[in-house]
């Protein structure tokens, strides 16, 4: 089923041998990064390393927080968004990275 070095060919037709290859393919592309504490980033990937430290450009950060309404006890979910021109992200807060959707 697989080549002997256990790489597999993605639907986009590029050989991927290790998970970080997926990120290498996303350099200079806009990526979605899910971070701890309900933070999400969208930005252009300029650099990364094996710890997932990253440098993103034209970043939009969305912070989702939920508070409980004191009167009704209802959970209120609020989203705050801010834009940052260039951001270094420390890898240890990164949960998930997703490249832009490719049209195959």
Partner 1 sequence: MSSAATDDATKAPSKDGNSAPEQNKRSPSDFLKAVLGRPVNVRLSSGTDYRGVLACLDGYMNIAMEQTEEYVDGQLTSKYGDCFIRGNNGKQCLSERNFSINL
Partner 2 sequence: MTLVGKEIAVELKNDVVLTGTLHSVDQYLNIKLTTVQVVNQERYPQLTVLKNCFIRGSVVRYVQINPGDVNTELLQDATRKENSPAVGGTVSEAKK
Residues that bind partner 1 (CB under 8 A): 1-2, 6-8, 10-12, 16-23, 32, 52, 91-92, 94-99, 101-102
Rounded to a whole number of angstroms, the minimum distance from the CB of residue 25 to partner 2 is 10
78 binds, among partner 2, partner 1, none (CB under 5 to 8 A by kind): none
- Closer residue to partner 2 in complex, CB, 6/28: 28
Q: What distance in Å separates the CA atoms of residue 12 and residue 88, rounded to the nearest whole number?
A: 29
Distances (CA, A) of 46 to 26, 75, 79, 89: 9, 37, 26, 11
Of the candidates 85, 95, 33, which has an alpha carbon nearest to the alpha carbon of residue 62? 33
- Under the binding rule (CB under 8 A), the answer on residue 14 touching partner 2 is no
Tokens of 20: 């970080």
Q: Identify each DSSP E strand in 14-74 by its residue range.
A: 15-16, 30-35, 39-48, 54-68
- Residue 30: name its binding partner from partner 2, partner 1, none (Cβ under 5 to 8 Å by kind): none
By CB under 8 A, name the binding residues for partner 2.
20, 24, 27-28, 46-50, 53, 55, 57, 84-90, 92-93
């Amino acid at each position: 089923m697989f080549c002997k070095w256990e790489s597999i060919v993605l639907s986009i037709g590029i050989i991927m041998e290790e998970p970080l290859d997926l990120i290498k393919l996303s350099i200079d592309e806009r990526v979605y990064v899910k971070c701890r504490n309900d933070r999400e980033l969208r930005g252009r990937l300029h650099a990364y390393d094996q710890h997932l430290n990253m440098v993103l450009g034209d970043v939009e950060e969305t912070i989702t927080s939920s508070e409980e309404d004191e009167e009704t006890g209802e959970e209120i979910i609020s989203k705050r968004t801010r834009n940052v021109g260039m951001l270094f992200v420390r890898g240890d807060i990164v949960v998930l990275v997703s490249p832009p959707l490719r049209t195959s």
